[in-house]
Amino acid sequence: MSDADGRVLWRTPGAGGSSSSSSSPPPALLTNEGNLVVRSLNGTVAWQSFDHPTDTFVPGMKVRLSHLTGEGNRIVSWKSPGDPAPGPFSYGLDPGTSLQLLMWNGTRPYWRTPVWKGYAVASMYLSAGTVLYTAIVDTEEEISIAFTLSGGAAPTRVGFVAMPTMKVPDKFSLDTGNRSAGECAARCAANCSCEAYAYANLQSSSAKGELSRCIVWAGELVDAQMIGPRWGGETLYLRVPVADASTSPGIQSSGKASGNAVKIAVPVSAAVLLLTCIFFVWFCRCRDKRRKTESQKTPMPGTRTGTTNTSSEIGEGDHTGDLEFPSIRFADIVAATGNFSKALMIGRGGFGKVYKAKLDGGQVVAVKRLSKDSEQGAEEFKNEATLIAKLQHRNLVRLLGCCTEGAEKLLIYEYLPNKGLDAVLFDSARKAVLDWPTRLGIIKGVARGLLYLHQDSRLTVIHRDLKASNVLLDAEMRPKIADFGMAKIFGDNQVKANTRKVVGTYGYIAPEYSTEGVFSVKSDVYSFGVLLLETVSGIRVSATEGIMEFPSLIIYAWSLWREGKAGKLVDPSMAGSCSQDEALLCIHVGLLCVEDDPSRRPLMSSVVSILENGSVSSLSLPTPVQPAFIEMMGEKSQRSDLENTRNTMAMTVLQGR
């Protein structure tokens, strides 16, 4: 590093020679403007720090946006006053229009400037005695905005800019005596500390017989505002430097002061840019305090004052307009998913497809796109967006935003890297990561999530489609219940409901729901029992292998339990880490949850209490009743006979997912 005279001030270890003695330009140079420039061997700029702004916009730096790629640079806040890591707020050109500047909070637009009117250069006088010049350059390749400051040398001449219809600032001094407008201007120009003046002809004489009024301001101008003539606004004359009065239209020279000041239009966009920079710095310093205040005052997302939706309201009409989560532009989602690339698709279902995406701020999310061929897609979309926005629990998947543009409907969720429980539990190559403590944690987490839906939230929610693929796992294998498209909300005194349209996944559907269309919280308890038995055994409820001659996993589990061999149900892949007492307790609870009679199934509050506190030896749990299927067919019926009988069952509009 060298100074302006070529003297070496600092060099890296091992560097020899003097930079001043070399005929080639230095590879890196810190300019007087604060720009660190790295040059290639031929002298061209290979990299410069001004192309990568942080939280400070300095003179000479540019905010760019490419017309070709839609990409640009932004000013990015610090994470905290002492942590220079990227924070949530950024400031730059709007990639959608390039005609305005935007401030983002993460990926959500937070504030914007007025739309650009086409000016190329704007200037604004600052109280420090300098001029702020803002330049906008728009080419075929890119549009950029930069600003510079004048040298700040003391002007040899001064003039005044007329600001019409203003509420004049506070802290003024009254210059008494009948003076003309020119004399008032001259008085201000002669005083080096005078920053502005205002002159008016009085409607009537004052007590001293004065017919005019001249007031002046020294120092900072406080509480000035453009209010219009209707509210008593008057012309305020601001002191500015004048290089050449004859070539500066709109500026009144003190040497040729006259009563009729020439008005100019101060560039609004330049003023907004300066105010934006000030606001940006202030906001970054105060954001932590603001977040705390807002978290105490802002209602939970999706709430509406004085209103609670009932089950009859969900899916009837579009309630997404009442929700308070960010709306993300479809174009941004297309870019984040690589135009919905197959390589980024991480799942699919009755709703549509799910993609992994990375938003502009670097946040990785999951994007759920409504399939145009899905008959229930629109209803599921409204239902899911409405419900998840109203529910907040560590064992429920978190909704980050949505997008509804034309026929496109998308939901944006937190990204859970381990995907669905089924993808790990039923994969022989991956299931080894699910040792017993992990599986027990998943079982308890799902139970707590259901308890919240049924009892602890301000709504009573029946999920109706709880299954292994709808339990997602985060990086620490913590479970989160997902897919609320089938869910229903119960009123305060509602216990159960009937439907002609049975939805869900065969094997997880409770008997009373599949045959009579009756569902309640006990329907979810049944689904949880099936999921619990799957998690302990590692066997799908629909599997035909691994359950010997029995027609289903439930009957197989009950038969082993009755014979005192329930331990054989435990997945062999976790035999080394399994606690026998805890596994037997889970199997016992699972069998109670899948009772055919809903009244015999425990509530989720009891299930959570048993799993958290009990063991088979210390609790007097009810004895699971023999499944009605075996009683009806006989305990030693052949599997083929059972399948034939099952296939003749009457199902009410059963829709698998």
Percent of the chain at pLDDT exceeding 90: 22
Q: Please, are residues 388 and 394 in contact by the beta-carbon 8 Å criterion? A: no
Instruction: Please report whether residue 102 resides in a domain.
Output: no
Q: Could you say which DSSP state residue 603 is in?
A: P
Structure tokens at 258: 């006259």
The answer to whether residues 394 and 536 belong to one domain is: no
Per-residue model confidence as pLDDT tens digits over 367-402: 988 877 665 566 677 777 877 777 889 999 988 888
Alpha-carbon gap, residue 327 to 612, rounded angstroms: 40
Contacts of 317 (CB under 8 A, 6+ apart): 382
The answer to whether residues 232 and 354 belong to one domain is: no
Name the strand (E) or helix (H) holding 181: helix 181-190
Per DSSP, the three-state class of 591 is: helix
The answer to whether residues 367 and 426 belong to one domain is: no
Max mean pLDDT range (104-113, 320-329, 519-528): 519-528
The answer to whether residues 363 and 391 belong to one domain is: yes
Q: In sequence order, what are the beta bridge partners of 138?
A: 143
The count of other CB atoms within 10 Å of the CB of residue 307 is 8
CATH number of the domain encompassing residue 563: 1.10.510.10
CATH number of the domain encompassing residue 348: 3.30.200.20
Per-residue model confidence as pLDDT tens digits over 260-296: 443 444 455 566 666 676 766 666 666 655 554 443 3
What is the per-residue pLDDT for 128?
54
Q: Please, are residues 88 and 81 in contact by the beta-carbon 8 Å criterion? A: no
Tokens 């061997």 sit on residue: 41
Task: Point out the least confidently predicted range of 51-60, 109-118, 446-455, 612-621.
Answer: 612-621
Contacts of 218 (CB under 8 A, 6+ apart): 173, 191, 193, 194, 195
Average predicted confidence (pLDDT) for the chain = 76
Alpha-carbon gap, residue 625 to 570, rounded angstroms: 21
DSSP string, 427-465: -TTTGGG--HHHHHHHHHHHHHHHHIIIIISSSEEE-S-
Computed from CA positions of residues 202, 204, 206, 209, in that sequence, does the dihedral angle turn out positive or negative? Answer: positive
pLDDT band (50, 70, 90) for residue 651: very low
Mean pLDDT of the 318-333 span:
67
The answer to whether residues 611 and 476 belong to one domain is: yes
Three-class HEC string of 546-563 = CCCCCCCHHHHHHHHHHC
The answer to whether residues 517 and 630 belong to one domain is: yes
Query: 364: domain range?
Result: 320-414
Instruction: Please report whether residue 636 resides in a domain.
Output: yes
The answer to whether residues 325 and 425 belong to one domain is: no
The count of other CB atoms within 10 Å of the CB of residue 398 is 15
Q: Of 414, 449, 472, which marks where a domain is finished? A: 414
Q: Please, are residues 635 and 558 in contact by the beta-carbon 8 Å criterion? A: no
Q: Of 372, 393, 414, which marks where a domain is finished? A: 414
Q: In sequence order, what are the beta bridge partners of 131?
A: 125
Name the strand (E) or helix (H) holding 471: strand 471-473
Alpha-carbon gap, residue 427 to 298, rounded angstroms: 44
Tokens 């899911």 sit on residue: 384
Per DSSP, the three-state class of 118 is: coil
The answer to whether residues 232 and 185 belong to one domain is: yes
What is the per-residue pLDDT for 209?
63
Alpha-carbon gap, residue 544 to 47, rounded angstroms: 63
Per-residue model confidence as pLDDT tens digits over 225-261: 777 666 667 888 988 776 543 433 344 444 444 434 4
Q: Of 227, 250, 266, which marks where a domain is finished? A: 266
Q: Please, are residues 551 and 572 in contact by the beta-carbon 8 Å criterion? A: no
The answer to whether residues 462 and 588 belong to one domain is: yes
Name the strand (E) or helix (H) holding 628: helix 628-633
Structure tokens at 45: 């700029």
Name the strand (E) or helix (H) holding 273: helix 268-297
Catalytic residue among 94, 465, 483, 524: 465
Q: Is 368 annotated as a binding residue?
A: yes
| Counted domains in the chain | 3
Per-residue model confidence as pLDDT tens digits over 501-535: 677 788 899 998 888 888 889 999 999 999 999 99
pLDDT above 90 for 351: no
The answer to whether residues 356 and 460 belong to one domain is: no
Name the strand (E) or helix (H) holding 385: helix 377-390
pLDDT above 80 for 655: no
Per DSSP, the three-state class of 270 is: helix
Q: Please, are residues 647 and 495 in contact by the beta-carbon 8 Å criterion? A: no
Alpha-carbon gap, residue 183 to 375, rounded angstroms: 81
Burial class (CB in 10 A: 0-12, 13-18, 19+), 476: exposed
Contacts of 419 (CB under 8 A, 6+ apart): 346, 347, 472, 473
The answer to whether residues 606 and 497 belong to one domain is: yes
What is the per-residue pLDDT for 355?
93
State if pTM tops 0.85. Answer: no
- The reply to whether 465 belongs to the active site is yes
pLDDT above 90 for 56: no
Instruction: Please report whether residue 560 resides in a domain.
Output: yes
Structure tokens at 531: 């999921």
Strand order through the sheet with 131-138: 62-66, 142-149, 131-138, 121-125
The answer to whether residues 163 and 226 belong to one domain is: yes
Instruction: Please report whether residue 198 resides in a domain.
Output: yes
Task: Point out the least confidently predicted range of 20-29, 567-576, 604-613.
Answer: 20-29
